[in-house]
């Protein structure tokens, strides 16, 4: 399950994770749990079509928890290895939206929850991660947009502030542009 604020790249990261898992020989199904942002469902459906992955979706405004539950049921029925649940971005200070996300997490009961943070957000990303961690206890983070001019120091701060590792780095727009996070690379970038 992927969580984070609006605009961090959760949907694109979902597609990149699907590509990575497919390249490792795993079967994947995606759940289009962002039913609020205009075009979000279609964006994930297009990525899934490009990758040959089934996408479980609903109409705009649908129940994200029900979509996650349906994707999990479909995966179990078809012996699919991994369910990727994309979620709507939400501001960490909106309690009702965070509670709704907690409901999706309870229903989906994911093996892994990843916070997706934007490397360009700096200290804001750290505060976002801290709030998401307090509400959801995510397992790790993905730092996106590291291919920009940003130094990415937020990554170290996110790991320190939440006690959770940065597991992947988004290094471009292509499906293959999600790499395991390399802290040595980040330290070199910061001091360059």
The pair of structure tokens assigned to 56 is 């479980």
Strands 166-170 and 178-180 come out as antiparallel
* Two tokens, residue 105: 């997490």
C-alpha 142/C-alpha 181 separation (Å) is: 8
Q: What predicted TM-score, i.e. pTM, was given to this entire model?
A: 0.94
Contacts of 71 (CB under 8 A, 6+ apart): 29, 30, 31, 56, 83, 85
Kindly give, in sequence order, each residue whose CB lies less than 8 Å from that of residue 145, ignoring residues fewer than 6 positions away: 9, 118, 119, 120, 170
Which tokens sit at 188? 């070199």
**Domain ranges (residues) in the chain:** 2-191
Q: Tokens 């399950």 map to which residue? A: 1
Render pLDDT for 101-159 as a digit per residue (tens, 0 to 9): 999 999 999 999 999 999 888 889 999 999 999 999 999 999 999 888 666 678 889 99
Structure tokens at 119: 């490397």
For residue 64, the SS3 value is: helix
**Domain at 2-191: CATH architecture:** 3-Layer(aba) Sandwich (3.40)
11-53 pLDDT per residue, tens: 999 999 999 999 999 999 999 999 988 899 999 999 999 999 9
């Amino acid at each position: 399950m992927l969580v984070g604020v609006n605009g961090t790249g959760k949907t694109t990261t979902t597609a990149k994770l699907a590509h990575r898992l497919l390249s490792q020989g795993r079967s994947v199904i995606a759940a289009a749990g962002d039913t609020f942002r205009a075009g979000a469902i279609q964006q994930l459906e297009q990525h899934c079509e490009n990758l040959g992955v089934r996408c479980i979706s609903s109409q705009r405004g649908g129940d994200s928890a029900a979509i996650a539950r349906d994707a999990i049921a479909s995966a179990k029925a078809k012996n699919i290895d991994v369910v990727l649940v994309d979620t709507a971005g939400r501001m960490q200070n909106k309690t009702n939206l965070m509670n709704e996300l907690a409901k999706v997490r309870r229903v989906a009961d994911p093996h892994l929850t990843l916070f997706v943070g934007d490397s360009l957000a700096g200290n804001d990303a750290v505060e976002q991660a801290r709030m998401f961690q307090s509400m959801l206890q995510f397992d790790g983070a993905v730092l996106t947009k590291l291919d920009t001019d940003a130094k990415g120091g937020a990554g170290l701060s996110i790991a320190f502030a939440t006690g959770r590792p940065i597991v992947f780095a988004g290094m471009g727009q292509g499906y293959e542009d999600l790499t395991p996070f390399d802290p040595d690379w980040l330290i070199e970038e910061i001091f360059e």
